[in-house]
């Protein structure tokens, strides 16, 4: 198919004037929430006691929606886990302080020999004795 010069020029002009393709609509998952808006204390509070106070202050009749009750429960669990971790680390540190240092061992011709004897904790010693007795009793029963 052939066009004359005028028709060809006219087609080129029309081609430049055609609308550009329409961009696809933006889905809701691609829309970013505005972070500049300030969040309420109920949404940001991490202390369960303060969160409870905020919930009661925000509710005129004392009713709280289930999703906020769940949030309160989660903050309480998180706080309990944190206190348990602190207690365990404190007990471990305390136990390390109570343990006597291990006796130094050196090599002799006859084999390994303890260099020095340290006095053991009497409470631990009685616990070990009681434990050995229980083990022996279990062996006797079998």
The residue length of the chain stands at 142
- pLDDT tens digits along 35-68: 556 777 788 888 888 888 888 888 888 888 889 8
Among 37, 41, 42, 38, smallest CA distance to 68 is for 42
pLDDT digits (tens, 9 = 90+) for 3-37: 788 888 888 887 777 666 777 777 766 666 555 56
Rounded distance between C-alpha atoms, residue 69 and residue 76, angstroms: 11
Whether the predicted pLDDT of 99 surpasses 80: no
Is the pTM here over 0.75, yes or no? Answer: no
Distance CA 51, CA 38 (A): 17
Q: Which residues pair with 112 in a beta bridge?
A: 107
Cβ contacts of 55 within 8 Å, gap of 6 or more = 42, 64, 68, 72
Q: Is-contact 79 67, C-beta < 8 A?
A: no
């Amino acid at each position: 198919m052939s066009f004359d010069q005028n028709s060809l020029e006219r087609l080129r002009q029309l081609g430049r004037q055609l609308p550009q393709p329409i961009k696809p609509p933006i889905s809701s998952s691609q829309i970013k929430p505005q972070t500049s808006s300030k969040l309420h204390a109920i949404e940001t509070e991490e202390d369960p006691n303060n969160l409870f106070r905020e919930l009661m202050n925000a509710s005129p009749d004392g009713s709280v929606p289930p999703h906020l009750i769940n949030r309160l429960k989660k903050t309480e669990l998180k706080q309990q886990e944190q206190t348990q971790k602190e207690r365990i680390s404190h007990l471990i540190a305390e136990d390390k302080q109570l343990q006597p240092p291990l006796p130094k061992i050196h090599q002799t011709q006859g084999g390994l020999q303890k260099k020095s004897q340290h006095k053991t904790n009497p409470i631990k010693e009685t616990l070990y004795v009681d434990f050995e007795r229980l083990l022996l009793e279990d062996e006797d029963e079998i």
